[in-house]
Structure formats: C-alpha cells, structure tokens
Structure 1
Amino acid sequence: MKVVALQGSPRKKGNTAKVLSFVEEELIELGHEVETIYLNNKNIKGCLACGKCKEKPETVGCVQKDDAPEILQKMVDADLVIFASPLYFWGVTAQLKTIIDRTYSFYVNYHMPGHASLVEGKRQALLLTGGGPYENNAEATVTAFGRLQKPHMSVNAGELYIGQCSTPENMDEGVKEKSVAFARKISA
C-alpha cells in the first residue's frame, strides 16, 4: 500500500512528529511504502474559490503556482493519506488546513447527481496530538475530519488522539503501543 503522511506541525521534532514516526515505522514494518510531507517547508497558498479546478474534473487542476498541486497529486496516487497535526485552538494547524482547503479540487457536483472524486474509495486517517484531554478539545476536529470523507467519497480509516502531551521525550510506552495499533488499523 502506498501511504502519504501530511505532517502539519510546524515543529519538525515535536509531539506530532514523534507519534507519526511510531506509525510510519509500523507501516514500513508491515511492508507499506510511506512518504511523509512536512508541510511547514512547503509553499501552499490558500484556496481562491475561483472554481477553475472544476473545469477539468479528471485532474488536480489549480491556477495557483505553488507546491499544492504536487502534494494533491501524491494524495490522489496514494492508497492511504494520514492527516497529522497538533491541536491549535480546537482544530488542525494552518499548514494542514490550507492543504485540506485545496482538496476542493478533488471533487465535482457535491450534493448533486454526478458527484465524483479523484480520491473515491481511498483511505484517510487522522492523527492528532494535544496538551489536554479528548473531551472539549479534539472532538470538533474529529467531527470535521469525519465530514471530509463525504465530498471526497473516501473511507475514514480511523482517528488517533494522543492527549496530555508535554514533550516528545516524556511520551511513555503506551503512546507507542497506541500508535502501532493505529497503524495496523488504518492499513488493514
């Protein structure tokens, strides 16, 4: 299976990166091909909502000249995409949200006959880290992610929230165990 992990944290060696590394190691151990895209180093502009991407629904089309089209194509070519982010004010980081907004180019005719998507049937998973508990913290992001699969016509492979994070060095063995179980679930 071809896996693309979108690392949305601005910290290259932070909590999200650490948890994602556990997931990636297990996926590789299971024989999957994994590519991680560190979004903070990419030039990704916000969606213009111009609709030009809808003119050729069989391709990832966008009038903007930035790194998004290449990333979006990798998402289309993947069997599984992992959206990884720390929680920032009850949502994903701006880095990840910007590429999510640009996935508007994946589908046409949402809520209408002829609804089609370039990622139809593909698996998508969400990995979140945060300082607080799940309740009143990660719920809204998990709900929003679950709604993303409708226009994408994709499969929600699963969500993992690792809360009470302080520093990557302070993560206990339980975090690794949860990460390994998550990797097995989303790749099954």
Structure 2
Amino acid sequence: MTSGTSPAAARARRSRAVVVLVALTAASIDLVAKAVSEARLADSTVDLGLLQLRLGYNSGVAFSMGDKLPVGVIVAITTVISIALAAYVWHRAPRAGWVERIAGGAVLGGAVANVIDRARDGVVTDYLHTGWWPTFNLADTFLVTGFIVIAVLQARPERTVAEDGKSTAAHPANTDAGDF
C-alpha cells in the first residue's frame, strides 16, 4: 500500500483486478476453444459420451432468438449489455466476496468473448452439443454458471436484525469468502 492510499481503496483495486483477471482468462479460453473448434471440427464430430464436440454457428442470441436481425444490431445490443455487466461487476467488486468476484468475472468474460466472436464474422461459434440442448460454447457456460452463482449468493439471507437492533450474521458462511 502506498502512502495516501486507504485500505479500502487498496481492497477495491485488488477486488477489481480479480474480476478483470477472471474475465480475461475466461474470454481467452473460450476464444482459443472457438478457433481450435473451427480448425478441427469443420468436417467431423467427436463423441465424448454425454457431450459431443460439433461445430455450429449461431446468428442470433440465446436459442437463436433474433437471428433475422442485422448483425450490427445484435453486436450493438450485446455490446451494450456487456458494458452494463462490466459496470455492475466493477461497482460491486469492492463489496463482493471472492466467489462473487470470480462469478462476475466469468459472466463478463463470457459476454465479451461472444461479442468479440460475433463482431468478427456475424455469428457466434458453438462447439458443445448434448443432443437434448442447443449447441453452445464455453462462453455460454461461463455466463450461465456465473449468473446462477450470483443469483444464489444474492438470494441467501446475509444479515438478520437482532432484538437490540444491531445487525448480526445470519449464517456462519457469511464471511468475505462467500459474500459478494
């Protein structure tokens, strides 16, 4: 910590750095997986049991919704949503526990990876197929998993008010390790 930097400012900087690092890592992993999938799965499918590696392209958003819209409109909308997500996780990170910071970074990384992929050629590259669910990619997995973790963390009761009016922890897991 440098002279003049408060502990709260240093913690906020570290918290935000974790989110950015997770987002960059998630986006990089997905973009590399998309490039490898396009190179290796163009004419083949790999059966891994419950999961198949199969190349597909989505010109819409989730479940191909909006696939008839111009690419520029979809890129603009998903970029605005990604910016809103970035603002949320940036603002929330200093008060978040490490689980929420990782989940927020995963959501942001997944969103950014799909925007970058779509901006290149107008479609999102998908490569994971289950047979019972539309084909998807790691970015989608990061988004959904991160949102679920954040929703579960936000839904749990963090504090209760004791009879004397002071706030007390409602659950022993309410520490920095689990809070956002």
TM-score band, normalised by shorter chain? under 0.3
Of structures 1 and 2, the larger Rg is shown by 2
Q: Which has the higher helix share?
A: 2
After TM superposition, the score normalised by the length of structure 1 is 0.24
Q: Which has the higher strand share?
A: 1
